[in-house]
A and B are shown apart, each in its own frame.
Chain A
Amino acid sequence: MAIPLLDIRDLTVEFATRNGTVTAVKKVDISINKGETLGIVGESGSGKSVTSYALLRILDRAGRIADGSIVFGGVDVGGADERTMSELRGREMSMIFQNPRAALNPIRAVGRQIEDVMIQHGLATRGNARGKAIKMLQAVRIRDPEQRYHAYPFELSGGMCQRIVIAIALACRPQLLIADEPTTGLDVTTQKAVMDLIVELAAERQMATLLITHDLGLAACYCDRIVVMEKGEIVESAAVETLFASPQHPYTQRLMRATPRLDSQVADLLPADDERRASTKRQPIGPPLLEVDSLVKAFGSAANEVRAVDNLSFTLHEGESLGLVGESGCGKSTTSAMIMRLLDPTSGALTFAGSDIAVISAKQFAHHPLRSKLQMVFQDPTDSLNPRWSARRSIEDPMRRLDQLNRQELNTRVSVLAERVGLPAHLLDRFPHQLSGGQKARVGIARAIALEPKLLILDEPTAALDVSVQAVVLNLLASLREQLNMSYLFISHDLNVVRLLCDRVMVMQAGKIVEEGPTEKLLSEPSHAYTRALLNAIPHPPAQASSIHSSSAHPPVTAL
């Protein structure tokens, strides 16, 4: 067998913290051959990113490689001096990151940032760097590369920024590309475009790729082999076909179960013996609860008007769960803000529980009796909690404001709510930073249901959570709807998740609903091209081993 391009043996990485040494990566063995694509899959805290930082030796000051060897192309990376490393980084192995906009220098023109790398590694001189940088912009399919050369990151979309980061990483034709969650936070269609671009450029340059992701579906679509990591250790390593056909380790099995597939029900995400599984009983649909009629929100001056929401009409019935799907900038968050009466619509009517709430100004609605019947769960479980309030204080806040309860009653209510959302009572006095992502999500949900709302607006409630936590939270939401007879307006970019929770789905594009229908029908027979594009772009873990790689065979999406 040929010598692998990269050979990691027994890698152990430790971090010095206030509470002593923490081992983030334990005895990890990884090898990649030339031209191969390896996926490292794991949830937050699994050590997958730390492994890649160790590989480039760009660990934080507190981190150090405690043990093991890293050999890349015959060079001992662990023992190499800083000079050798500088030559390796960017030239032989390079990296692209999550959150592309933050990964670029905000006050340096993107073209210059590409030039910096090329000049540093001797692939360009000051004289010809500009032309070469523009060529690189062309290679990552940036339109008008001459103009974009002068652009700053804040002037570009997330997808464009990621292309720039890819251009920086590939400018020197490295042998190994490390992609650390390269598409997290990007829209599905952008994700597909970016991933297809990486795959294509990698193939063209016979480059090995290390794809680090939390998304099994993504790894299945684009990798040859997958390594599953949990708590700093590799629990399983196999070719994609083998791994999906017969996952060996219980963690891999749990992860696979929790990843939504085309055919899974919400309860399927959790093991059969898990008591948190939601019943799949459908609720009876009642009379209309929320009627939205010709809702418009326009921004900008009259001459230069932009309609974020353009003539939107729909009806949501009691007990119904309605999905609103669209990509960033389509107007779905503006819609939810108007329904929540946080934002005044430009025109249109909102009838909630029989009364027109569009005529009440956003300021007054905070004290309106109907306000308690309308609640929201936010996308970021951390940012949506007051960092200086305990979980208990956060949960009781709406009751303090809108209900007249004494201390005793408040405490009882909070305990009931905590039990309902599965939050252990001893966590109630903790602060957000002392809680895990899933626990914070539960606090957010408990707070939203505290006043027994009729309508709950869920704005990407699981987007920031690991898949296993997402599985639990989705089941919790499904159970709560049945127990409390609530209606949901579920806003998401992820059709897969929406499908699990909604009876009916609306697809939104550029402020308008382009397609609407019962979930099963819309997903199986989408009529609008945009719906089809969205569905196509979602990477699925294979239902059977034979269908692997089918989705990477789609022609690359080069627009966006």
Chain B
Amino acid sequence: MATMSRTRLIAWRVVQAVPVLIGIVIVSFLLTRALPGDPAAYFAGPAANAESIQQIRVSMGLDRPLPLQFISYVQDLFRGDLGTAISTGQPVIHELTTRLPASLELTGFALLFSMIIALPLGILAATRPNTWVDHLCRAVVTAGVSLPTFFTGLALIYVFYYLLGWAPSPMGRLDFLYLSPPKVTGFYVIDALIDRDLETAWGALSQLLLPAITLGLFTLAPIARMTRAAMLQTLESEFIRTARAAGLPRRKVLFTYALRNAILPVITTLGMVFSFALGANVLVEQVFSWPGIGSYAVEALVVSDYASVQGFVLTMALLFVALNLLIDVIYTLVDPRLNTQE
């Protein structure tokens, strides 16, 4: 019975995402139209006169009234056509599908890295308040939020590439010595592993390591802080006292009783950090010449590339919605109390 209502609850959450998506399509369309600058003028180039600009405007459909433009935009969307990027002449959908996995791979590894460090650090700090672990946690958190990513990135490159020579040159996802692995997921490390090409996998991983750590150091702070706070609060709960009074071992009290209750706010933070990092890793991408979606969006914005910007906003919004949906689902799986809510 419980699983039945759980499935229904999840299905309901999915349905709720539909109006959000419609809203996103409308807003992303209107926002890009509100951008300053004239794409026709940019496309026509500096030598163009008013007449040729007008000609281009007509050919791009920008002379038509907004509602009509919107309708053809939605029609194109349904065909999977996001338009053509002005600057590169490539279809936007193609650009996005090659660049998005690069960003996702970077952000995903960064988050994995920060979780591996932040969760144990937060738990240890909460169980031993005011000891050296707690102070270490505080120092790491403070350093993590106060060091800008471009600085950490450059510092890491200086030490590990320039001084020590351990890391490969910070030039994109794969050294030119390697061929990119056949595309399955778009994540080079995973694709290379699927292809059983360990050498390429290692090459991709070593390229990934420094930017992922750079971003990870930044995302580590909120996760560690939230883990510590949530654990501290849970450990003071009365049911922890009951568990201790019942003679349950420390490990069981800590993980089965405390952590499972404390993990809910941590999951929320993870979701927020992930979506935030995905949009905000432009600086890291620039420093490491990472061909991600962030740098693509910035370039498109500069030249008022409607199609690209719309494509970017739509993709990010879809990701956000998917991510929130995922978090909601995890929530309902972890917390039985949510099942009864209407």
Interface residues of A (CB under 8 A from B): 56, 58, 61, 82, 85-91, 94-95, 97, 99, 102-109, 116-117, 120-121, 150, 152, 154-155, 165, 168-169
B256 within 8 A of A: yes
Q: Is the CB of A169 within 8 A of B246?
A: yes
Across the interface, do B257 and A89 meet the contact criterion of CB distance under 8 Å? no
Interchain CB contact under 8 A, B256 and A116: yes
**Contact present for B238 and A105 (CB under 8 Å):** no
In contact, B337 and A117 (Cβ under 8 angstroms): no
Q: List 13 A-B contacts (CB under 8 A).
A: A61-B129, A86-B248, A90-B248, A91-B247, A94-B245, A103-B241, A107-B261, A109-B336, A154-B336, A154-B340, A155-B340, A169-B245, A169-B246
Smallest distance from the beta carbon of B89 to chain A beta carbons, Å?
54
B245 with A120: CB separation less than 8 A: no
Per-residue CB contact flags for chain B residues 228-269 toward chain A (1 = under 8 Å, else 0) read 000000000111011111111110100011001100000000
Other-chain residue from A61, A95, A117, A165 in contact with B248 (beta carbon distance below 8 A): A117
Is A107 a contact partner of B245 (Cβ separation < 8 A)? no
Does B2 count as interface, using CB distance less than 8 angstroms?
Answer: yes
Q: Within the complex, which residue of B237, B241, B248, B334 is in contact with A116, where a contact is CB–CB below 8 Å?
A: B248
CA distance A85 to B245 in the complex (A): 10
- Interface contacts (Cβ under 8 Å), in number, total 85
| CA–CA, A263 and B219, complex, Å | 68
Measured between alpha carbons, how far is A168 from B193 in the docked complex, in Å?
50
Partner pick for A95 among B245, B256, B336, B340, CB 8 A cutoff: B245
Q: Nearest chain-B residue to A86 (Cβ)?
A: B247
Chain B: interface residue total (CB-CB under 8 A): 25
Q: A520 vs B246: C-alpha distance in the bound complex, in angstroms?
A: 46
B128 — nearest CB in chain A belongs to which residue? A61
Contact A120 B248 (CB under 8 A): yes
Q: Which of A108, A117, A150 contacts B256 (CB 8 A)?
A: A108
Q: Is the CB of A99 within 8 A of B129?
A: no
Q: Does B335 count as interface, using CB distance less than 8 angstroms?
A: yes
B247 near A89: Cβ-Cβ < 8 Å = yes
CB-CB under 8 A for A105 and B243, given A97-B238, A120-B252: yes
Q: Known contacts A116-B252, A168-B242: does B247 contact A107 (CB below 8 Å)?
A: no
Q: Is the CB of A152 within 8 A of B248?
A: no
* CB closest chain-A residue, reference B246: A90
CA distance A90 to B249 in the complex (A): 11
Report the bound CA distance from A85 to B249 in whole Å: 10
Select which of A89, A165, A168 is within 8 A of B244 by beta carbon. A89
Alpha-carbon separation in the docked complex, A109 to B2 (Å): 12
Q: B149 to chain A: closest CB distance in Å?
A: 36
Which chain A residues border B249 with CB–CB below 8 Å? 86, 120
**What is the CB-to-nearest-CB distance from A17 to chain B, in angstroms, rounded to a whole number?**
14
**B244/A58 in contact, CB under 8 A:** yes
Question: What residue in chain B is nearest A89 (Cβ atoms)?
Answer: B247
Q: Are A104 and B242 in contact (CB under 8 A)?
A: yes
CA distance A61 to B243 in the complex (A): 16
User: Do B246 and A103 touch (CB < 8 A)?
Assistant: no
In B105-144, the 8 Å CB interface with A consists of 129
Residue of B nearest to A147 (CB): B1
Return the chain B residue nearest A109 by Cβ: B336
